[in-house]
Chains A and B, each alone.
Chain A
């Protein structure tokens, strides 16, 4: 084998290695759900919970002391997806004279998917719609039903098995929730747990 053939062979090998590394990098961009490090094979129900999660529009913050969600997660072609099936809210109030008479998550289930942005994993929830009926004699929106709508992106932290929603995660994931024509600031820290076949196992996304 002369030098030229050797050089060509080595260059081809190097190119092939680089290409395979590049493709491997692309495929890891869509994270999957894992339990104890093993990729989830079939749907699993998990519950997320937060304490004092607040929705803020200018002049008024609606806070719920507790906030749960049930999400059925699965992996589709190696990418983590989810379906939020339930969203009970507890002890909701505002920082004004308005009370929360009733609150309804609409059009459930809401679809979710995992995404990696700059090495961090996020859960993107789409089609969010929550109707809030405000009351109170001294409330300027007494008797008004306001609708919260849009998408939300939360950072998934594998070490704490939690999802964090904040203005930073909304900005990173290019998601937005609106209410009464205003962008809503949603802050919440949701530890998550599996409650079916992977109960007590460590949940992660990678």
Chain B
């Protein structure tokens, strides 16, 4: 990445003219000057000359590696100078004089390495609820304004090798410098594809949420809209936590172990 991306290289201003570049530009200008005597504008002739070169060379150019050769760079540099020399502004409705796109500051974001990908949780489990669509508001019945029970949740696309699932519902924004957990459930059987509303399947254990309650609660402050993230993690081995486990501690372990997750976003606002 030391030299930047191909796009970056293209955006960099033309380098100072080399001897060969100047010579090429000079020769081209003289040739164009002569041909310009025969009628038509010099600029038009430049364009057609460039087109004919392009017709033969550009296919090969596009097939080459991203980094242009020194000869290509010189050719382009010369072509740019020729255009400016013959007044290319006349042919460009915008009167272009050099690139207008700036090279971005800083380095491009790093790409995900194979190791990072292997250690991350790929969000490829489809988690949904018939009670709401992802991104929509949660009906009041599933909040403290209603029955404060969880909605039915369904999932598909379980990866092979899953031993069990763990489910967390969290506020998108932390509270008092900590992730706010509304619900944490572990020990969900690998053969499950859903959880019914208000009814936990056998073997499931619930952790203590950030309200200090062993259970579920969606209850934002009055007049405050809150966004919630439901995250279902597939685990390759069972964690066996006890009822009332520390939700944040378990989440750390789950993130370390899990390789696949299902996500669903919802929101709720108390009027």
Binding site for B on A (CB under 8 A): 36, 38, 41-45, 47-49, 57-60, 64-66, 68-70, 72, 85-86, 88-92, 96-97, 100-104, 131, 133, 138, 140-147, 161, 180-183, 191-193, 195-202
Give the A-B pair count, Cβ closer than 8 A: 215
- The 9 lowest CB-CB distance pairs between A and B, nearest first, are A66-B104, A59-B227, A58-B135, A197-B54, A88-B108, A195-B10, A102-B112, A104-B111, A88-B5
Query: In the bound complex, do residue A138 and residue B80 qualify as a contact, i.e. CB atoms below 8 Å apart?
Result: no
Residues of B close to A65: CB separation below 8 A: 104-105
State how many angstroms separate the Cβ of B220 from the closest Cβ of chain A: 13
B residues contacting A by CB (< 8 A) are: 5-8, 10-11, 47, 50-51, 53-55, 58-59, 61-62, 66, 76, 79-80, 83-84, 88, 91-94, 96-102, 104-113, 116-117, 119-124, 126-128, 134-136, 170-174, 177-179, 227, 229, 231, 255, 261, 263-267
Please name 12 pairs of A and B residues whose Cβ atoms are closer than 8 Å in the assembled complex, sorted by A: A44-B58, A60-B172, A60-B227, A64-B109, A88-B104, A90-B109, A91-B104, A91-B105, A138-B178, A145-B116, A145-B120, A180-B264
* Most chain A CB atoms below 10 A, which of B6, B53, B109, B267: B109
Check A181–B106 contact: CB distance below 8 A. Answer: no
Closest to B263 in A: A180
Residues of B within 8 A of A85 (CB): 6, 66
The residue among B102, B127, B128, B172 with the most chain A CB atoms within 10 A of its own CB is: B172
11 extra interchain contacts, Cβ-Cβ under 8 A, other than A69-B7, A131-B112? A36-B47, A45-B62, A88-B104, A90-B106, A102-B116, A103-B109, A103-B111, A145-B112, A146-B263, A200-B83, A201-B47
